[in-house]
Amino acid sequence: MTKQIQIGSVPIGGGAPIAVQSMTNTDTRDAAATLVQIDALAAAGCQIVRCAVPDMEAAHALGEICEKSPIPVVADIHFDYKLALEAIAAGVHKIRLNPGNIGSDDKVKAVVDAARLKHIPIRIGVNSGSVEREILAKYGSPCVEALVESAMYHVNLLQKFDFDDICVSIKSSSVPYTMRAYQVMHEQTNYPLHLGVTEAGTEYMGTIKSAAGIGGLLALGIGDTIRVSLTDDPVKEIGAAFAILKAVGLNEDGINVVSCPTCGRTRIDLIGIAHEVERRTASIQGKKLKVAVMGCVVNGPGEARDADLGIAGGDGEGLIFRHGEILRKVPQERLVDELMKEIEQFQP
């Protein structure tokens, strides 16, 4: 089990639930606009948000942002230790910083001392584009070994000053490299790991890469907090993240819709029905249900008997079933409405 750290009110690692993160794409210097986006992210379920801090004006704006944000705020710092000190003074809940990139030991120590005083963790964030030149020269490319060595270099710098309130991310745009790097890191340390695939792409491909990389690692028991990185509205990252958690069995809240692929036996509009069920159940909270949408009686109530509720298609009609037991037959046009009634009335 990994070490547990505390990011504001959110525990990370040590058996805590997997936390979902995102990053604002507003100009941090515009506190009002940044807070509007943070509110939208929080409403979607985001639990931790990161803000870029490119200059001192952005660092100063963090004071208002941290004061008004409904979720913990992480300052994303590169190269300038003074920005880290200002962000800590502004009240951020975590710093994302690679200590080897901010200069001499005294600068690293200044940041470490300030973070320790405020009980603020530091996330080391290594990716394939940030590996140090001497490490790249050693390996010839940002391979798995180079990524891990770079991460451990930064970890050792923090440990040098007796600081171990650490989280680590170690990302590549390659899913196999990302997965292997996290596996090696998991074997070498007990620090909580922030999972993600960097430069994953647009909503479509970025979600697929993230599901493969993040989901695969979570299924292996690796990872403590996640961010799905998309070239899109950050709010979309949250939906994708929770879908990944649901897919690997780490988020059971709400309705889990399963549906079979269509085939030549299907005699109802299975595709349309499945989409409608997914849409109408998306906002339901407080119930943990598995709902099956099946195309025919061959793979209907029997195959989906582990579902709490479900429908199975016939010829222009379908069956409503509960735990594999048929309740009644209804016309296709009433299938979804009848299913929704059963979901509303369902008692475990």
Contact 123, 194 (CB under 8 A): yes
- CB-count burial class (<10 Å; 0-12, 13-18, 19+) for 100: middle
The model's pLDDT over 196-225, given as tens digits with 9 standing for 90+, comes to 999 999 999 999 999 999 999 999 999 999
- Identify whether residues 11 and 47 lie together within a single domain: yes
| Same-domain pairing of 198 and 232 | yes
Give me the pLDDT at residue 267, please. 82
Distances (CA, A) of 160 to 153, 156, 183, 197: 11, 6, 24, 29
Same domain for 327 and 185, yes or no, is: no
Cα distances (angstroms) measured from residue 287 to each of 47, 148, 259, 324, 331: 21, 41, 19, 19, 27
Q: Which two tokens stand for residue 320?
A: 């409503």
Residues 231 and 269 occupy one common structural domain: no
Q: What is the pLDDT of residues 27-82, one digit of tens each?
A: 999 999 999 999 999 999 999 999 999 999 999 999 999 999 999 999 999 989 99
In the listed set 197, 212, 247, which residue is the last one of a domain according to the structure?
A: 247
When mean pLDDT is compared over 30-34, 245-249, 251-255, the highest value belongs to: 30-34
pLDDT tens per residue across span 167-195: 999 999 999 999 999 999 999 999 999 99
Structural tokens at position 345:
């009335």
Verify that 241 and 266 share a domain, yes or no: no
Residues 234 and 276 reside in one and the same domain: no
Same domain, 100 and 22: yes
Q: What is the largest CA-CA distance in the chain?
A: 75
pLDDT given at position 299? 66
Domain stops at, among 247, 276, 302: 247
Domain CATH for 337: 3.30.413.10
Q: Are residues 106 and 225 in the same domain?
A: yes
Report the CATH number at residue 115: 3.20.20.20
pLDDT of residue 265: 80
Please provide residue 225's backbone torsions phi and psi, each rounded to the nearest 5 degrees. -155, 150
Residue 74's nearest CA partner among 146, 143, 22 is 22
Query: DSSP states of 162-179 as a string?
Result: T---EEEEEE-SSHHHHH
Q: What is the pLDDT of residue 170?
A: 94
Q: Tell me which residue range forms the domain holding 101.
A: 5-247
* Pairing relationship of beta strands 309-313 and 317-322 according to DSSP bridges: antiparallel
